[in-house]
Homo-oligomer: A and B are copies of this chain.
Amino acid sequence: MNYPNGKRKSLNQNKFKQTNQGYSNRGMSLESDINVTNTYYLETDQAIIHKKPTPVQIVNVKYPKRSAAVITEAYFKQASTTDYNGIYRNKYIDFEAKETKNKTLFPLANIHEHQIKHMESIIRHGGICFFLIRFSPFEETYYFPAENLFPYWYEKQKDGRKSIPYPKIKENGTIIPFHYQKRVDYLSIIDKLYF
């Protein structure tokens, strides 16, 4: 990545994400663990999987003389798809990462309908689609197939809130072991499930 004018070390974009419903989909540690993992996969030529840039709506830009264009007004936009995609063993890979501080359930409030539609579509077209879910109090990260999440998302609950109980995550997902370089080695789970 280039910093066009090299002026400053930038802040981390994740700092600006707010925690909501007891979890953030940009939990620093899960996201940085995934980044380390993806870099390892890339460098060892196992898979090409990237995080998409944060979508930003640009409103104002200034063009100072002899330096790079400066965006002076912009807003965060909601992503219309998932955060990560790429290719592994000829297969299209697409996933979303979510972290929760909750100890009893995984809340679905931050998963949007257009993301569900996107994931259903990906599966219909032959892609591999899943969630990486971290329960930070337990330091556990699960591979959870998107197909297993849909029923919970569609289920209307009495209080209007949607969630997956922690025991169901354990039952219908697969825990991902931690390795130093492959901190969230989700490809090992894909190998077992699909190959």
A→B interface (CB under 8 Å):
1-5, 8, 10-11, 13, 15-16, 42, 45, 47-48, 50, 52-61, 68-78, 80-81, 85-92, 94, 118, 121-122, 124-127
Chain B's closest residue to A3 (CB) is B57
A86 to B86, CA, bound (A): 8
CB <8 Å contact, A69 and B16: yes
Contact among B55, B75, B118, B121 with A53 in the assembled complex (CB-CB below 8 Å): B55
CB <8 Å contact, A68 and B75: yes
CB <8 Å contact, B75 and A3: yes
CB <8 Å contact, A80 and B3: no
CB <8 Å contact, A2 and B77: yes
Contact among B47, B78, B89 with A1 in the assembled complex (CB-CB below 8 Å): B78
Contact among B3, B60, B125 with A87 in the assembled complex (CB-CB below 8 Å): B125
A75 to B7, CA, bound (A): 10
Most B Cβ at <10 Å: residue of A15, A69, A75, A81: A75
CB <8 Å contact, B54 and A87: no
Residues of B within 8 A of A118 (CB): 48
A16 to B124, CA, bound (A): 37
A35 to B79, CA, bound (A): 16
Chain B's closest residue to A126 (CB) is B90
Given the known inter-chain contacts A73-B70, A88-B125, please indicate yes or no for A80 contacting B4, CB distance below 8 A: no
CB <8 Å contact, B92 and A91: yes
24 contacts between A and B (CB under 8 A): A1-B55, A1-B57, A3-B75, A4-B57, A4-B76, A4-B77, A4-B78, A8-B59, A10-B59, A11-B58, A48-B121, A50-B80, A52-B52, A53-B77, A69-B75, A70-B73, A71-B73, A71-B75, A87-B94, A87-B126, A87-B127, A89-B125, A89-B126, A91-B92
